[in-house]
Structure 1
Amino acid sequence: MRSTATQLAAHGALDANGERLTQKKMVMNLFEGPSTVLTREDIAARTNLKLSSVCGRVFDLVASEMLTVRGTRKCAATGLDHELVGLPSPF
């Protein structure tokens, strides 16, 4: 099985402390606070992960209540609503 450049880059990604980043950590690192909300497409673009990988990680993170669905945003290209996810609200 051959790996793509993106897969190899994600596999070898290190955080500021030199620790290997898992895909879940890569997703969680995007959220700076409760005001940060992103679509799955936003997350895929910022992490260079495939959308299918992002969807799986977001599903796991929402199920474990580390992220929560925080509304929708209309896609400019398709006109469809896309879920926004973010950190759970502190309220």
Structure 2
Amino acid sequence: MEAEIYSARSGRRVAETQSDAFHALTIKDLTVGQKMVLNAFKDGRPPLTREDIASITNLKLGSVCGRVRELIDAKRLFVVGKRQDLATQTSHQLLNTKPLSI
């Protein structure tokens, strides 16, 4: 009998095989949008916000947000902090390809 696994994001039950397939994605299996988001972190760039990634890649913010969520779920991107936007007084997550080392 398969173990019951629940999606951390949606809270819905998913099959073990579905979870395994998702986490087994290799770089060549990533979508074009996911590759573009990951490429924004090349050249030793510091942690970026979703807005920074949209600006670098010329993708729409909504598309970047979806790809970032997929990459976080697949443990390809990590939230490493927050940055305050001085103009809007809102907090934005800082993302990086490596987890924050303590």
Give the TM-score normalised by the residue count of structure 1: 0.69
Q: Which runs of 5+ in 2 are unaligned?
A: 1-30
Find out whether 1:71 has 2:85 as its counterpart. Answer: no
SS at match of 1:38: coil
Q: 45, 55, 63: which one pairs with 2:55?
A: 45
Q: How does 1:22-41 map to 2 (within 5 A)?
A: 22-32=32-42, 36-41=46-51
Percent identity among equivalent residues? 45
Q: Which runs of 5+ in 1 are unaligned?
A: 1-20
Q: Which portions of structure 1, spanning 4 or more consecutive aligned residues, are displaced by more than 3 angstroms? A: none
Alignment correspondent of 1:85: 95
SS at match of 2:79: strand
- Higher relative contact order, chain-length normalized (CA < 8 Å, sep 6+): 1
Give the TM-score normalised by the residue count of structure 2: 0.62
The structure number with the bigger radius of gyration is 2
Give aligned pairs, total: 71
Find out whether 1:58 has 2:68 as its counterpart. Answer: yes
